[in-house]
């Protein structure tokens, strides 16, 4: 039986309309209900292509026993972070202030009956594991603490306001030279693989935008190399879709090989814009090709019914993460036949694979390929892409975000100058 999300438009909220959890949207009416019933609020924030949001939904929100606890003890609210980035920002900061933990999605926050946060977390498993309590344990404990300390928790609002005020003061942009900070950041970068050290590994393009700004300002190579390393490594590894273009959100390893397969418009805009900036100053036919390929992919595959761009592609298809993108060794061999050996000159593929017995395509940068070989390999890529398009695609979140569509329009116009592409210019002007 549908819950209160049945009339919502967000694809993420619609994914939860048939949960046994009695979900409510964020609204004045919902908040008033919590106040009248003197119940704490469980707030779950996520988005339609979020893999771990799906995992927690399947494990907990679709479980009748868990839903019974939630419905009995909480007012349960679902929020799409892309519909309400303002709420997401507030409660991500709240998590850091209240627990010292790093935010993320799904975001699981507990609010008092006045919608003031008092504790929270991100993903909670169905059973206790790896030091994380089970979600049902969390629900029971938070409910018990709230019942026993309700007035104290509600009274904490003034203290929380003071903490937030201090937090915002410390994190305010200061009127001082940022160059020393950029130089300090460079010391923490992964010199071999690009980006920051460790895993999981996010591109964090906004940081490299800043670094590249100082290269343009100072013409100092120490600010160029980190950006060049990042772009070349990302563009040649598994985080990049070698057949069609575009990048995934992050990789679980430090070498950019195994992506978390979701593709978000936001990340790809940042990737394209850093490429644009780089190519405006430096020459690279390789990166120019990646720029063109990604633009073509976004303009073709992110279009929604109203001729605007949607938000993201899910990581999963047919219930498995990455199934749409990965290849068995023999599968590639059978599709390419006599062209298989030339394909192997560009891509590192093995019978064992690099992801659960299958291959995520990554380039072999050690091979120097002739123009003729590259032309032949491009034909093999088209063959595989044609075969891949016969598979069931991951779910597409076609929700239109005005800010990102405007940002993409700017990116296309910028790219038309970098690529000297009048058709791209006319299409977007």
**Structure confidence by residue, pLDDT tens digits, 24-53:** 999 999 999 999 999 999 999 999 999 899
According to the model, what pLDDT value does residue 174 have? Answer: 53
Mean pLDDT calculated for residue range 176-185: 81
Under 8 Å between Cβ of 242 and 361: yes
Q: How confident is the model at residue 132 (pLDDT cuts 50, 70, 90)?
A: confident
* Mean pLDDT of all residues in 204-225: 94
pLDDT attached to residue 128: 92
Is a pLDDT exceeding 90 seen at residue 227? Answer: yes
Q: Rounded mean pLDDT of the chain?
A: 93
Confidence (pLDDT) at 197: 93
Q: Which one is predicted more confidently, 4 or 168? A: 4
Average pLDDT in the 269-298 region?
A: 97
pLDDT over 70 at 166, yes or no? no
pLDDT of residue 302: 97
The predicted pLDDT at position 168 comes to 63
Domains of the chain: 11-170 (3.40.30.10), 179-309+403-428 (1.50.10.20), 325-390 (no CATH)
pLDDT for res 182: 86
pTM for the complete prediction? 0.82
pLDDT-based confidence at residue 156 (cuts at 50, 70, 90): confident
277 vs 366, higher pLDDT: 277
Distance CA 424, CA 415 (A): 8
Per residue in 64-110, pLDDT (tens digit) is: 999 999 999 999 999 999 999 999 999 999 998 888 888 899 999 99
pLDDT for residue 159: 75
- Residue range 355-401, pLDDT digits in tens: 999 999 999 988 888 889 999 999 999 999 999 999 999 999 999 99
Is the pLDDT assigned to residue 429 strictly greater than 80? no
Give the confidence band of 180 by pLDDT, cuts at 50, 70, 90.
confident
Q: What confidence tier does 269 reach under pLDDT thresholds 50, 70, 90?
A: very high
Asked if pLDDT for residue 250 goes beyond 80, the answer is yes
pLDDT > 90: what percent of the chain? 83
What confidence tens digit (pLDDT) does each residue in 300-315 have? 999 988 889 999 999 9
Structure confidence at residue 161 (pLDDT):
74
Confidence band for 178, pLDDT divided at 50, 70 and 90: confident
């Amino acid at each position: 039986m549908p819950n209160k999300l049945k009339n919502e438009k967000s694809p993420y909220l619609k994914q939860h309309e048939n949960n046994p959890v009695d979900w409510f949207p964020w609204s004045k009416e919902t908040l008033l209900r919590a106040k009248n019933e003197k119940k704490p609020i469980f707030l779950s924030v996520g988005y339609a292509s979020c893999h771990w949001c799906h995992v927690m939904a399947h494990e907990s929100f679709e479980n009748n026993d868990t839903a019974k606890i939630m419905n009995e003890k909480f007012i349960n609210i679902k929020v799409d972070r892309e519909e309400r980035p303002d709420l997401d920002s507030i409660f991500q900061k709240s998590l850091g202030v209240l627990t010292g933990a790093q935010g993320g999605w799904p975001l699981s926050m507990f609010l008092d009956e006045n919608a003031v946060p008092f504790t929270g977390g991100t993903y909670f498993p169905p059973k206790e594991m790896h030091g994380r309590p089970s979600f049902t344990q969390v629900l029971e404990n938070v409910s018990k603490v709230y019942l026993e300390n309700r007035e104290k928790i509600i009274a904490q609002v003034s203290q929380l306001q003071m903490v937030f005020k201090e937090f915002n003061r410390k994190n305010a942009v200061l009127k001082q030279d940022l160059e020393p900070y950029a130089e300090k950041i460079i010391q923490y970068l992964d010199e071999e693989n690009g980006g920051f050290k460790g895993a999981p590994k996010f591109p964090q393009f906004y940081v490299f935008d800043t670094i590249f700004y100082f290269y343009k300002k100072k013409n100092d190579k120490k600010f160029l190399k980190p950006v060049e390393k990042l772009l070349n490594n990302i563009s040649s590894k598994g985080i990049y879709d070698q057949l069609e273009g575009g990048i995934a959100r992050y990789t679980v390893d430090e070498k950019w090989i195994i992506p978390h397969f979701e593709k978000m418009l936001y990340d790809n805009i940042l990737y394209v814009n850093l490429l644009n900036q780089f190519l405006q100053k430096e020459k690279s036919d390789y990166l120019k090709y990646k720029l063109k390929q990604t633009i073509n992919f976004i303009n073709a595959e992110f279009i929604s019914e109203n001729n605007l761009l949607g938000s993201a592609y899910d990581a999963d298809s047919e219930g498995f993460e990455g199934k749409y993108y990965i290849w068995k060794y023999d599968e590639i061999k059978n599709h390419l036949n006599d062209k298989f050996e030339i394909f192997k000159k560009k891509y590192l593929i093995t019978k064992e694979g690099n992801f659960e017995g299958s291959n995520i395509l990554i380039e072999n940068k050690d091979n120097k390929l002739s123009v003729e070989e590259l032309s032949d390999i491009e034909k093999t890529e088209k063959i595989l892409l044609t075969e891949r398009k016969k598979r069931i695609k991951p779910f597409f979140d076609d929700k239109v975000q005005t800010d990102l569509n405007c940002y993409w329009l700017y990116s296309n116009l910028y790219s038309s100058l970098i690529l000297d592409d009048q058709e791209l210019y006319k299409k977007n002007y």
